[in-house]
Structure formats: C-alpha cells, structure tokens
Amino acid sequence: MTTLEYKSNLFQKLEKVSDITLLQAVSELVDLNSESSQSHWDTLSNEDKVAIQEGINQLDNGQYVKDENVRENLKSKFSFLK
C-alpha cells in the first residue's frame, strides 16, 4: 500500500470516529511526528529538566540498580510476589 493509500484509508476511518479522546490521541501522535511541533523538552519546567539531567548523570556514573536486583529484593520482602 502506498503512502497516499494509507492516508486516504486513515482519513476515511477518522471521519467515522466520534470519540473525542481517541481523536485527541491521534492528533497528539501526528503532532509528535510533525517537524513544526514543539519539542517535549521545551515544554518541561526547569525543575524537571534538572531532575532528568541528574538522572542521566547518575546513569553515566554507574549509580543505578539493575531491575533484576530490585525484583529479587522485592520478592524476598513480599511473599505474594513469589
């Protein structure tokens, strides 16, 4: 199927959709793909940007716990997870 055929098919399906939540989700997906859309990074607060950068720095410095270690630790503490 060509790009044009995919678009046409999608337009036909979207015309029948009445669920506003679904339409908003589709719109957000299209916006994410749009070169003209604002980067998510630009919408974050400075506090969030600092927290993300701290997390990246911690990962770069090996300051993390592997998820299998977390899972084992939780299983040893909570019997219902076994």
Instruction: Render each residue's pLDDT in the chain as its tens digit; 82 residues.
Output: 898 998 899 999 999 999 999 999 998 888 777 765 567 788 889 999 999 999 999 999 999 999 999 999 998 988 887 7
The pLDDT score that the predictor gives to residue 38 is: 60
Q: Where are the domains of the chain?
A: 1-37, 39-82
On whether the CB atoms of residues 38 and 30 are closer than 8 A, the answer is no
On whether the CB atoms of residues 38 and 44 are closer than 8 A, the answer is no
The pLDDT score that the predictor gives to residue 79 is: 84
On whether the CB atoms of residues 29 and 23 are closer than 8 A, the answer is no
What is this structure's pTM? Answer: 0.44
